[in-house]
Structure 1
Amino acid sequence: MSGPTIAGTDRAPATRKSQEPGPTGRKAPARTLKKWLRQHRAATAAAAVVAAALALLIGTQLAPKGDRAPLSVHNAGPEGARALGEILGRHGVSVHTPGRFDAALDDLHSSSSPTLLLYDRNGVLDRQQLAGLMAAADRIVVVTPRLDTLAALDSGIHQAGVVPDASPVLDPGCTHPDAEAAGQVTGHKGFVYDGGTTCYRAAGTAGMLAVSGDGRLAVLGSTAVLGNDKLDELGNAALAVRLLGAAPDLVWYLPSIEDAAANGSGKTLDDLAPGWARFLGPWLLLVAVVAILWRGRRHGPLVFEPLPVVVKAVETAEGRARLYQDSRAVDQARDNLRAGLLVRLSGKLRLGPGATAEDTIAAAARLLGRDAAGVRALVNERPTTEARLVAWSQALDKLEKEVMTR
């Protein structure tokens, strides 16, 4: 009977002890990890940089494709026209987006009756290039053209001002079928034109939409009508679809600075830059590397010091004195010495916290049996040189010692 009881009591404590880990067992992995990180700091930093680069690369690849060019069918922002491109595609219109002038001509020549949307906001194309586009397109819609562009098109349409702020909404006001079917449109930051058939007139005969006599050229003075931000307002979408969706092929052409020298008539930035500018980039790179090596060098390992640190008063006084000496702050040093003297003398003479400088000087003069004017002249003196500052401070120290010994 006693044998099993003794055996059971011997095994129970052993089982409980094996299930309770000690504090050393819990802290050992943490100390080991910290030690490993300290020993492999360079490898850890490199791994973190590689991980960040991979995350950036993956995020860039997974991000929706597009651009930020105004009125681009690939731009989903407020100034883009991606929504209009999607609507035209659902209506069976093939939207071509050439990036260069030659590609735009090829797209126009490959279709039987193409429509061209031209938004040359920087006035890149010259007269010869515009003439080539006019000859290749069956219908052209030009958005907010510049004076030079309008003159090169030679359609009799010219600029006549801007849409007043008091006219945020414009009525068709004409018999053009596209404008009549669309109805009201937004006039936000629009331009008005005169010549041909004008619609959406804010005042007078000038309108935000002008169509040439033969109907091949339409000048639209607003990017807001086509943009994503206001496409769903009023009749903006209806007017945009009717202007651009009449033909099965639409060439959406936004000229860039690269098209300026397409026919050799323009100059690029490389042509305008001086010859020595090509060496500027390598030189700046060399200067940056030298600056990094100069300012980025280390002065040995960091020294860890327990806080708080006790600093002797004489060390702080000497350090402050060196700062005053380096900056030649004679007036600041004089004011500090005078203030310290008056505070100590006031405490010695038991004048109280409300005592002024004159009270302290008068009390010190009475205690020493001196003329108050002489003591006042000494305390209020303003040395102008460092040598005189040293001599004056010694005189103050002598005065203080005399008062302290009384």
Structure 2
Amino acid sequence: MTVPGPTLQPLASSASDADQRPPASTAAPRPRGRTGRILGWVFVIALLIGIALLATRFVAAAPELGGTLNPESPGPSGAKALAEIVRQQGTDIEITRSRTQAEAMIGTDTTLVLTDPLALSDEAALQLVESADRVVILTSSSRMLRLLDLGETVFNADAVDAQCNLPEFSRVGDIDATRLFTPAAGVDGCFRDSAGDAAVLRTSQEGRTLTLLEGGSLLSNEHLAENGNAALGLALLAQTDHVVWYVPSFQDTDRSDDAPDTLGTLTPDWVTPAILLLLLAGLAAIWWRGRRFGALVAESLPVTVRASETMHGRARLTAKAADAPHAAEAIRAGTQTRLATRLALSPRATAQEVADAASDRLGVPRGSLYDLLGGPLPQSDRDLIDLARKLAELETAVENTVHTERNRP
């Protein structure tokens, strides 16, 4: 029977159109929105602006000298607790950060308290000390020891008691000193150790009483409640009705030529231009490599890559990298999958489950199969070859037992 011509014509036309039609694209369509890209650029620009602002603030501020034994600081290194205890004994404490104000506040029955005035020159420091009849220096500064000729610092540390003839220290008891001194000639030393070194130095110069100790480890807020530290602080500061406490600062300095250098003054002049140049280079690199000329075009991929080619390519890469553990892991995974199929297990069966089934089938100890399928990976090519040979033998043995059972009548 002959099929009429008019019936064939539409079929032929449809086939021809199908041959001329371009193959379907395998690329997934991408969203054409620009919001994510704009937000990314905004983040990059904001980050660069932040880096530029940090570069312009490269000059560091001068450190604060008044943190240690500051009578207004409640921190661990401050001395606010000592100041409050002294006030409770009826002593008036005035705190100042100006050398001229401190000299003006000092009267006839006044105790001057200070740490090492680093911002003052030697002449200004001596002038400040000489303005008071009673001075307590809460520092172990070598400069103050030299200027006042009190002695030398030693680095012994021990628990000591008063062991001196000064009556105000008779009830202090033991203190745990971390810095001791060797008194100079004519200087009394209190709280001595067995070697004769003292924690407190006391001397009288031209009718002026000078006392020096390392107060950071004895009179700070952190250590005031230990041993007899609080009693020592009262013995030092509560002997008069008026105390002037000078807190040093870099703003109150008489030095002009040798002002303390900051990070900005120590930085070479080329650092800031170099930072700006790097920022500009980074912007140029982002604009060059990060720009896009439009949306991605979806194109067809008619090329078919065989699975064997992919397998051989990965094998060559693994061999070139000499990655025996990775290759052994891949061989084990393939063997485990094939054994699971032959032993009627799930494709997701674990190595222990496969080893149990193979052990039951072959009648061999389970421990040896556990090590073979899930033990440590080989680290050399020789161990890798040995593992591959054993896995192949295991597959062959399982395959033979499966075929034997199928051939039984």
> For this structure pair, what is the TM-score category when the shorter chain's length is used for normalisation?
0.5 to 0.7
CA contact (8 A) 1:115 1:138 kept: yes
Aligned-pair distance for 1:96? 3.0
- Residue 269 of structure 1 pairs with residue 261 of structure 2: yes
Q: What SS does the corresponding residue of 2:96 show, helix, strand or coil? A: coil
Equivalences for residues 218-367 of structure 1 within 5 A? 218-258=211-251, 262-264=254-256, 266-270=258-262, 273=265, 277=268, 280-281=271-272, 284=275, 287=278, 291=282, 317=310, 324=317, 330-332=320-322, 357=385
Match of 2:93 in 1: 95
Q: Does 1:213 align with 2:211?
A: no
Cα RMSD (Å) of the superposition? 5.0
In the alignment, what sits opposite 2:112? 116
Distance 1:174 1:285 in 2: 65
**1:158 counterpart residue number:** 151
Q: Against the structure 1 CA distance between its residues 316 and 182, is the aligned structure 2 distance closer, same or farther, given a 3 Å change threshold?
A: farther
Q: Identify if the C-alpha distance between structure 1 residues 152 and 330 changes in structure 2 by more than 3 Å, giving closer, same or farther.
A: same
Runs (4+) of structure 1 moved beyond 6 Å? 292-300, 333-348, 358-361
Give the Å deviation of 1:194.
0.8
| Distance across 1 between alignment mates of 2:325 and 2:248 | 70
Distance 2:81 2:130 in 1: 29
Q: Is the 8 A contact 2:120 2:254 kept in 1?
A: no
1:198/1:206 contact within 8 Å kept: yes
Seq. identity, % = 21
CA deviations over 1:73-120 (Å, ceiling 9, x no partner): 222232221101111222333333333xxx123222233133222212
Q: Does 1:198 align with 2:189?
A: yes
Classify 1:294/1:137 alpha carbon distance in 2 versus 1 (closer, same or farther; 3 Å).
farther
Q: Return closer, same or farther for 1:330/1:88 CA change in 2, 3 Å cut-off.
A: same
Residue 173 of structure 1 deviates from its aligned partner by 0.6
Kindly indicate whether the alpha-carbon contact (under 8 Å) linking 2:224 and 2:230 is maintained by their aligned counterparts in 1. yes
Q: Does structure 2 conserve the Cα–Cα contact (< 8 Å) formed by 1:117 and 1:253?
A: yes
Q: Secondary structure at the match of 2:170?
A: helix
User: Given the alignment of the two structures, is residue 72 of structure 1 paired with residue 70 of structure 2, yes or no?
Assistant: yes
Label 1:315 to 1:105 Cα distance change in 2 as closer, same or farther (>3 A): farther
Contact 2:331/2:388 (<8 A) preserved: no
Distance 2:387 2:290 in 1: 56
Query: 1:141 is matched by which residue type in structure 2?
Result: V
Q: Of 130, 134, 143, which aligns to 1:139?
A: 134
User: How many angstroms does 1:126 deviate by?
Assistant: 3.0
1:23-75 superposed Cα distances (whole Å, 9 cap, x missing partner): xxxxxxxxxxxxxxx9xx9xxx9xxxxxxxxxxxxxxxxxxxx9982211222
Cα-to-partner distance string for 1:358-381 (whole Å, 9 max, x where unaligned): 7988xx9xxxxxxxxxxxxxxxxx
Instruction: List runs of 5+ in structure 1 lacking aligned partners.
Output: 1-37, 46-65, 301-311, 365-406
Residues 316 and 104 (structure 1), Cα distance of their counterparts in 2 relative to 1, 3 Å cut:
farther
Pick the structure with more helix per residue.
1
Q: Which residues of structure 2 form unaligned runs of 5+?
A: 1-35, 44-63, 293-304, 343-361, 363-368, 373-383, 393-409
What are the superposed Cα offsets for residues 202-242 of structure 1, whole Å, 9 maximum, x if unpaired?
12432111111345110113423211123223332222122
The answer as to whether partners of 1:119 and 1:144 remain within 8 angstroms in 2 is yes
> Which whole-Å CA distance do the structure 2 matches of 1:339 and 1:238 have between them?
73
| Kept in 2: contact 1:147–1:158 (CA 8 A) | no
Residue 251 of structure 1: CA displacement?
2.6
